[in-house]
Amino acid sequence: MEWNTKEYKLHCVQRPGSPGSPDASPPSGDSRNRPTDVNSYASKKSAAESMLDIALLMANASQLKAVVEQGQDFAFFVPLVVLISISLVLQIGVALLLIFLVKSDLNNTDDSTQLDFLNNLATGLVFIIMVVNIFILAFEVQKPVMDMAPQQ
């Protein structure tokens, strides 16, 4: 015996508002049946990126402090100061860009191409920041070890 689901659905009677009917609202806490709000998703994604950007900004500020404490006698002083400064400036630019993107309405089709470009620009800048920080880590910024041996 072969089941025909189309035929089954035609004979099924559903009361308005009953589960499975077209006008039924999803149960509270069940977000599987609700359509995805693109604005909410993009805002949460940009907010998460901003938090990660702040964490990296703080790490770079700490690295810059360590380089300055080592002084100009450190072999990689100038390259590290330049790379960390580039990273900090790019991070501030990305943070401002993400703040603008969070406040934007993605459902507005007039601005969609501009917002898509800005989102791609932010992603590209984050990639550049990552590459710059890989070079910063390659130089191994370390605080100088204090000699704790007793003086005679």
Total domains present in the chain: 1
Who has greater pLDDT, 131 or 25?
131
The whole-number average pLDDT for the span 131-141 is: 85
Is 23 within a domain?
A: no
pLDDT of residue 51: 76
Is 148 within a domain?
A: no
pLDDT of residue 145: 59
Residue carrying the six token digits 């130089």: 139
Is 27 within a domain?
A: no
pLDDT band at 99, cuts 50/70/90? Answer: confident
**Over 80: is that where the pLDDT of 55 sits?**
yes
The whole-number average pLDDT for the span 51-64 is: 84
Question: What is d(CA 152, CA 97) in angstroms, rounded to the nearest whole number?
Answer: 58
**Over 80: is that where the pLDDT of 62 sits?**
yes
Is 30 within a domain?
A: no
Is 19 within a domain?
A: no
pLDDT band at 66, cuts 50/70/90? Answer: confident
Vertex 110 angle, CA 106 and 111, to 5°:
50
Domain span holding position 75: 39-138
